[in-house]
Structure 1
Amino acid sequence: MSDFWVFGYGSLMWNPGFDHLHAEPALLHGAHRSLCVYSWVHRGTEARPGLVFGLDNGGTCRGMAYQVATENWPTTLEYLRAREQTTMVYKEHWHNISLDSGQKVEALVYMVDHGHPQYAGALPLEKQLEIVNGAVGKSGPNPEYVINTAAHLDEMQITDTGLTWLAGQLKSIVKP
């Protein structure tokens, strides 16, 4: 492999935090974006968890693919592990993805671990709203994360009716 690819589906889409050669919208088959992870660090605490996105089994997911130069790969991987693996709720996997340009590449993705205590599963939207509203972690308020992700999906013309509803509810509750 001359370069490496990373697939972002949540905050990595709008805040990758690492150097990359190229970013392009992409499609992952076999997993879908889901607000299915209790956040104990970045957007909540163990005492007052928030919710963050995970890649869960089944379906498809549109996101952003980042091409990382070989010489930057060790630093990028170290950064991603520090960011994504704080509590080991995700498992690193390599999956084939389809870039919007038509190219197919293998990318690093972070899949949620169903056996981890932070796995929330599929929660009703009202329960998601209850959990997200008011949760805060070291990376900031949980509503901000959900609203920013929804806005970025809108910009990319990715439809997620549940997330759109949730972001709308949060915007009406959370005042700047």
Structure 2
Amino acid sequence: MNDFWVFGYASLMWKPGFDFVEKQRARLHGYHRSLCVISIEHRGSAHRPGLVMGLDRGGSCVGVAFRVDGRNRANVLDYLRARELVTNVYLERRGSITIEDGNHASALIYVADRDHGQYAGRLSVGEAVARVCGAVGGMGPNEDYVLNTADHIRTLGIRDHWLEEVVSRVKARRT
């Protein structure tokens, strides 16, 4: 079997949870990273929903591409589907990426389903902070997810002024 790529843009960047052969910085074309998905499982609950990242239509997104040995395809797909499709707010797709070494590839991606009830759309900084602060799910506090994702985005040399303002306000409310 042929190796394949998985594109990570949020928690997959820092906690992929599957074996891979290689990882490189990459740019996904046609989608941008957005704090646009209401979390009722991993980073929130039905009683106190949180917010997580999604790939939303338009633009591009820098993240991390993981090359997976084709012999592990079934196991990795099973793992990712259990992790990403728990409430079906994401759609499993293929996306065009440019890898840091200049090569182009098709990668497995999970994009936000705009027709799903958990799609929050574009929120103001204040709305996002209000939803993030205090939400806790099966994977822990929503604040930790947002702060960790923002840290990893910065290590890739990416400036996201909107997310940086969310982080600043989340940190201010934590103290």
TM-score range normalised by the length of the shorter chain: over 0.9
The aligned residue for residue 123 of structure 1 is: 123
Query: 1:76 aligned to 2:87?
Result: no
Residue of structure 2 in register with 1:46 after alignment:
46
Secondary structure of the residue aligned to 1:75 is helix
Instruction: Tell me the equivalent position of 2:35.
Output: 35
Shift, 1:78, TM fit: 0.4
How far does residue 114 in structure 1 lie from its aligned partner after superposition?
0.8
**Secondary structure in structure 2 of the residue aligned to 1:162:** helix
TM-score (norm 1): 0.97
Letter of the 1:64 counterpart: V
Q: CA separation in 2, counterparts of 1:54 and 1:62?
A: 13
Q: Percent identity?
A: 49
Q: SS in structure 2 opposite 1:42?
A: coil
Counterpart AA for 1:82? A
Measure how far apart 1:171 and its partner are. Answer: 1.5
Question: Residues 109-120 of structure 1 correspond to what in structure 2 (within 5 A)?
Answer: 109-120=109-120
Runs of 4+ that moved beyond 2 A: none
Shift of 1:140: 0.3
What is the match of residue 154 of structure 1?
Answer: 154
Counterparts of 2:20 and 2:171, CA distance in 1: 32
TM-fit CA distance, 1:170: 1.2
**Structure 1 residue 174: Cα displacement:** 1.7
Report the 3-state secondary structure (helix = DSSP H, G, I; strand = E; otherwise coil) of the residue aligned with 2:76.
Answer: helix
How far did residue 29 of structure 1 move?
A: 1.1
Aligned to 1:105: 105
Give the structure 2 partner of residue 171 of structure 1. 171
Residue by residue over 1:70-110, the C-alpha shift from the partner in whole angstroms, topping out at 9 and shown as x without a partner, is 11111000000000000000001111100010010110000
Please state how far the C-alpha of 1:46 moved relative to its aligned partner. Answer: 1.3
Q: For 1:153, what is the secondary structure of its paired residue?
A: helix
List gaps (5 residues or longer) in structure 1.
none
SS of 1:172's partner is helix
Alpha-carbon shift at residue 34 of structure 1 (Å): 0.4
User: Separation in 2 of the partners of 1:4 and 1:132?
Assistant: 33
Aligned to 2:140: 140
Question: How many residue pairs were aligned?
Answer: 175
- Provide the C-alpha distance between the structure 2 equivalents of 1:18 and 1:174, rounded to a whole number of angstroms: 32
Equivalent AA in structure 1 for residue 54 of structure 2: G
Deviation of residue 56 (structure 1)? 0.3
User: Partners in 1 of 2:125 and 2:169 — Cα distance?
Assistant: 10
SS of the aligned residue for 2:127 comes to helix
Q: 1:51 Cα deviation (Å)?
A: 0.2
Alignment RMSD? 0.9
After TM superposition, list the pairs within 5 Å mapping 1:7-26 onto structure 2: 7-26=7-26
SS at match of 1:82: helix
